[in-house]
A and B are shown apart, each in its own frame.
Chain A
């Protein structure tokens, strides 16, 4: 079994290398047979890696403890779901997941484009396969998943495995890595098309149109991955936070930031023919940051509370990244002539300029996060002393950036292309600005004096009004014209231009999330050593620690506190935070108890029994205002992303205002 698995990986590596070489030479020497065989090899790799992954999953499910990987990540008592999730519970398995996903994506790309883009496709395949060669090499030689625990010459099994880290035995964590990886790996496709279009000197924006869906879907997965991580941190780690600016978290955020910038700035290229070089740089950076993120989490180059896997992977990743960055930079520089902008910026008060600021700000944030994450490495190299920066650094830079972005979210879509007069701005923003100031005034009157919180909630109101106005204006026109009711008119409006109105929904999701993040300014927390039977207070809540019980399951033993919750004397129900000690790892974990409500969460953590006093429990209680809105906003964001993916009913062809580009003219002449 495991031999076939290892062999499948090895064979996939050979095929990937072949496919890379065949596609490349086929494209250069114009040999269709070579190109075709390179394409077919992609399917072969998919089948081989699926087999390898299948064997690993099968071994995990059947608890085949002869395999080192299975013995280290799984144990018999674990539920089947987590046995399956143990596939990505460790270094070797998660790298296999990477290459498997890449093989899936490659196969889909090759299949859906089998009759399209004849010129670009060989290079697309070559880029995909170059990466596949790299990851298959890691799978085959550096971090092989199919090692057996051999004693002497015979192959023996251990009785039971070590089990998956209990912190990972949570449903969100079971799906977080695949979601994040789907996003990470997915960005290779737009990158491959961008690169191929550079090499083959494609006129126009073929690569952007072909990969628009890809970019959106992978961006959606990435958002999902980042959010699932936050949801997991909130519910499992027991400190009540969802984001700590830890290197692992930053690694997932970095490509998301550049991808977001990319999704916005491609619109400049599609509609105005501007920022062509910039888009190339953005998509390449996004892809490199995806690889870099994998490198960061997998190599242990920066230490983290999440305790990275330590390994020799670092050098491999660095070498791979260096080659790719060098080749891409060379290609972009060589093709600068083909990437000339077709129009010039006309005014600071214009849609174009709002896009530019959006990009500038996102990139600044990306750079700041990268800088902060790599600070220990940089200072060690430059000053010879390892210095780290903490959350205050990240917050100080990113909170103003976030607020500025929020402002642009409201301003951007309403401001005219090319140039906008102050007069029209006044007209467009009269109401939103009024509502913003009213909101701020109202909140201040209610006793909220936290500056950033006021600005943030005010801006949330501002953007909400702009978005609602857009829907209202459009839908009213349709309703009047085709005599349908307003609700149907909204659907009709969205359907006519899904990209625009779906985009507004995504913006709305972001606004709601910001409102949720703002709640953090008003968090309450307390830690109390309470005698069983006693009460304590947090905010408006009174907590009555009724009893502590304990018990055992095959997988873990537990101890549970029963806490009665009252608000202003009114009984609201019981909560039962729990502590577990997993038998396989002997690792204690907290199962927090959360009373989720839209206005605030009450969050209880049973820290431990007191060590000085046997009948005292240490309970930590937190109140997190508005935190639920983060998750609500996320659902809205995902819904908006899905709406964007629905084809528009009306095909808009954006006539570019001034097409002065040489290549567009040539294309015209060729017709």
Chain B
């Protein structure tokens, strides 16, 4: 029985340490997913947020290390101007019309300061929309996967 007690104590110690590490890790890196409209309604300045939108064509502008651009939420027709101040290079997929995911904080002037940007084409292996007219299979009833 003593063996099992000792064993149990060790297990509890290990799990406890890991749980503590996990909790602090979550606290340190948690990021809220928000839409542009949610950010406009309650701009929690200083909270770490991840916001997604389409890059408005022609708005990408570089000034030294900083990159300015505007993202757009189609459904509500809202825009958010973003300034990217991170040091990593912008991904290749980041360009006009791309879906961009900005990670950062709202500023008190209503702009968004991003420390990292991820950009994606709408589907993992497919070209971005607007590149080529979507060819929708006509012999199928399921929603097109290519749009």
Q: Are B3 and A162 in contact (CB under 8 A)?
A: no
Q: Are A388 and B138 in contact (CB under 8 A)?
A: no
Within 8 A of B (CB), among A194-253: 238-239
Given contact pairs A312-B142, A348-B3, A400-B17, A393 touches B26 in the complex (Cβ within 8 A): yes
Within 8 A of B (CB), among A344-390: 345-348, 353, 356-357, 360-361, 364, 368, 371, 375-376, 385-390
B78 at interface, CB cutoff 8 A:
no
Interface size of A by Cβ–Cβ distance < 8 Å?
77
Within 8 A of B (CB), among A144-167: 144, 147-151, 158, 162-165, 167
Q: Are A309 and B123 in contact (CB under 8 A)?
A: yes
Q: For B33, what are the chain A residues with a Cβ–Cβ distance below 8 Å?
A: 376, 385-388
Q: Are A385 and B3 in contact (CB under 8 A)?
A: no
A37 at interface, CB cutoff 8 A:
no
Identify the closest chain B residue to A152 (Cβ). B138
Cα–Cα distance between A72 and B142 once the two chains are bound (Å): 16
Q: Are B31 and A397 in contact (CB under 8 A)?
A: no
Identify the closest chain B residue to A346 (Cβ). B3
A332 at interface, CB cutoff 8 A:
no
Cα–Cα distance between A527 and B30 once the two chains are bound (Å): 28
For B92, give its contact among A396, A397, A589 (CB under 8 Å). A589
Identify the closest chain A residue to B67 (Cβ). A611
Q: For A329, what are the chain B residues with a Cβ–Cβ distance below 8 Å?
A: none
For A89, give its contact among B6, B99, B125, B146 (CB under 8 Å). B125
Q: Are A388 and B50 in contact (CB under 8 A)?
A: yes
Report the stretch among A300-308, A500-508, A530-538, A545-553 that lies at the interface: A300-308
Cα–Cα distance between A262 and B75 once the two chains are bound (Å): 48
Whole-angstrom distance from the CB of B92 to the nearest CB of chain A?
Answer: 5
Given contact pairs A149-B138, A162-B132, A605 touches B89 in the complex (Cβ within 8 A): yes
Cα–Cα distance between A663 and B37 once the two chains are bound (Å): 65
Identify the closest chain A residue to B143 (Cβ). A312
B121 at interface, CB cutoff 8 A:
yes
Q: Mark A578-611, 1 if CB is under 8 A from B, else 0.
A: 0000001111111000000000000001010011
Q: Are A390 and B88 in contact (CB under 8 A)?
A: no
Q: For B80, what are the chain A residues with a Cβ–Cβ distance below 8 Å?
A: none
Q: Are A527 and B127 in contact (CB under 8 A)?
A: no
Q: For A590, what are the chain B residues with a Cβ–Cβ distance below 8 Å?
A: 92
Q: For B137, what are the chain A residues with a Cβ–Cβ distance below 8 Å?
A: 68, 147-150
Q: Are B18 and A364 in contact (CB under 8 A)?
A: yes
Whole-angstrom distance from the CB of A594 to the nearest CB of chain B?
Answer: 16
For A386, give its contact among B26, B32, B91, B132 (CB under 8 Å). B32
Q: Are A364 and B25 in contact (CB under 8 A)?
A: no
Binding site for B on A (CB under 8 A): 68, 71-73, 89-91, 142, 144, 147-151, 158, 162-165, 167-168, 238-239, 303, 305-312, 345-348, 353, 356-357, 360-361, 364, 368, 371, 375-376, 385-397, 400-401, 404, 527, 584-590, 605, 607, 610-612, 618, 620
Q: List 22 A-B contacts (CB under 8 A).
A: A68-B137, A71-B135, A72-B135, A150-B139, A162-B126, A162-B132, A164-B125, A305-B101, A307-B99, A307-B124, A376-B33, A387-B30, A387-B32, A388-B30, A389-B25, A396-B28, A400-B21, A527-B89, A587-B92, A588-B95, A605-B89, A607-B89
